Amino acid sequence: MKFSKLSQLFLVSTIGLLVATFLTACNLVSIDYVFVADSAGNSQGSAGQIETYAADGHSGALRIVAPTVSSGGVKPVSMAVSGNYYHLYVANAATKNVVHFTIADSGVLTKSDTISLPDTPVAVAVSAASNYLYVVYGSSSATLAEFSLSSSGTIGALTAQQSLTVPGYSTDTIIPTGVALIPNNNNVTTPPANNVVYVSAVDTSAYNPGGTPTSSANPGWVFGFIIGSNGSLTATGLSPYKAGVKPVGITADPVSRFIYVTDFASNQLIGYTIQSGGVLNFLVNGPFRTGNQPSAIAVDPRGLYIYLSNTLDSTIGGYTISLPTGSPSSIVSTGATTVFNTDTQPVAIGIEPALGRFIYTANYLGNSISGFRFDPANGAVTQTQATPYPSGANPAALAIVPHGNHSIQSVTP
């Protein structure tokens, strides 16, 4: 069979394109694993599953790299990883349990052990030393529970517990919304400890949209507890602290100088400085405007930028942190915008730790993950290649671990 010169040229071009595509695929460098918890199941009817994606170090694009596994319960709502990145903990709201998975070098998850809770879990966190697991739970009252963790990551006994109540309003209904740990705060000197845990919560007796409030208390709060060397939990001075109307997301900067909280109901970001003994003081010039219904929040590993998800707008917002004061100011991209579009209803956000260059959101109604690259020089955001990436139904939480020998980005401002 003979080919014309045009046919030969087409054939050569096609082969060249296939070779280039193959070489490009071979050059993919996975820098992180992104775990996404889907809360409404898949076509097989699972009501809780975890998907594993690899993030490409060049483009930030995600691809599935391991089999989907059951979350070990129904309706996963929060995930946390250990400080050494070998263990993943998943809170399942409907089945009221927390499940521990080990993380293989390939990203494969293996279920290890499970604990049951007396009420609905909302959020989980792991201490920097990976020796304690913190769970906040409650559907009619709020509780912070601390569990020991073995060297193998197994969840052990309940070591401390605190009920969250607002002074003077002991009968109000308090619902927890988030938890954040201060891993190494040198300001904490009394009692001798270097770890603090903060919990965001809403007084639903005072905040009752569509109904009549039954309490005159402030609706939004942050509770603080110093973690003793034996795991004891002692309230920080002046705790709890007012936190707007409906605080949802809560996080700390990497060097434990500031706490940031999203106020879902008031469309604002609230910031605090961490004082001696873990006491919180409001940042000057705050609170700071956000998009509509801000939910999840993350600070980049260098402590320079804040990114949060605006659930109603289906966007993320970015802020530069003033290192002397902690005050955020809106990031403006080259397109003169301060918001960046996601898929529908982002409810979770994370920044990958290996390079500290890519942001991902779990989009609850979009059934997808959105990816963004941010410029480390100014924080400006652009979308990653081929975003958004399909996920299972109603992704509600995500967690990210570095892959291989990539360094973990951090800074001491």
Residue 333 banded pLDDT, cuts 50, 70, 90:
low
Residue 57 belongs to a domain: yes
Backbone phi and psi for residue 15, each to the nearest 5 degrees, phi listed first? -60, -40
The answer to whether residue 15 scores a pLDDT higher than 60 is no
Q: Count Cβ neighbours within 10 Å for each residue of 344-379 and write b for 16 or more, e otherwise.
A: ebbbbbbbbbbbbbbbbbbbbebbbbbbbbbeeeeb
Mean pLDDT along residues 67-82: 96
The answer to whether residue 23 scores a pLDDT higher than 60 is no
The first and second tokens of residue 305, run together, are 């930028």
pLDDT value of residue 17: 37
Distance CA 101, CA 123 (A): 16
The answer to whether residue 378 scores a pLDDT higher than 60 is yes
State pLDDT tens for residues 305-330. 999 999 999 999 999 999 999 999 99
Residue 191 belongs to a domain: yes
Residue 302 belongs to a domain: yes
Sorted by sequence, the CB contacts under 8 Å of residue 222 that are 6+ apart come out as 198, 199, 200, 201, 239, 240, 241, 243, 247, 250, 259, 261, 272, 280
Residue 29 banded pLDDT, cuts 50, 70, 90:
confident
Residue 193 belongs to a domain: yes
How open is the CA angle 222-224-229, to the nearest 5 degrees?
A: 160
**Minimal CA–CA distance to 221: which of 196, 241, 248, 197?**
241
State pLDDT tens for residues 246-283. 999 999 999 889 999 999 999 999 999 999 999 999 99
The number of folded domains in the chain is 1
Question: pTM for the full model?
Answer: 0.90
Residue 199 belongs to a domain: yes
The answer to whether residue 150 scores a pLDDT higher than 90 is yes
Residue 6 belongs to a domain: no
State pLDDT tens for residues 160-177. 999 999 999 999 999 999
Residue 7 belongs to a domain: no
Distance CA 290, CA 396 (A): 21
If one counts every other C-beta atom within 10 angstroms of the C-beta of residue 400, the result is 24
Cβ-contact 195, 281 below 8 angstroms:
no
Mean pLDDT along residues 393-413: 74
If one counts every other C-beta atom within 10 angstroms of the C-beta of residue 273, the result is 17
Q: Whole domain around residue 328: which residue ranges?
A: 29-402
CATH number, domain containing residue 191: 2.130.10.10
pLDDT value of residue 337: 60
Distance CA 57, CA 188 (A): 37
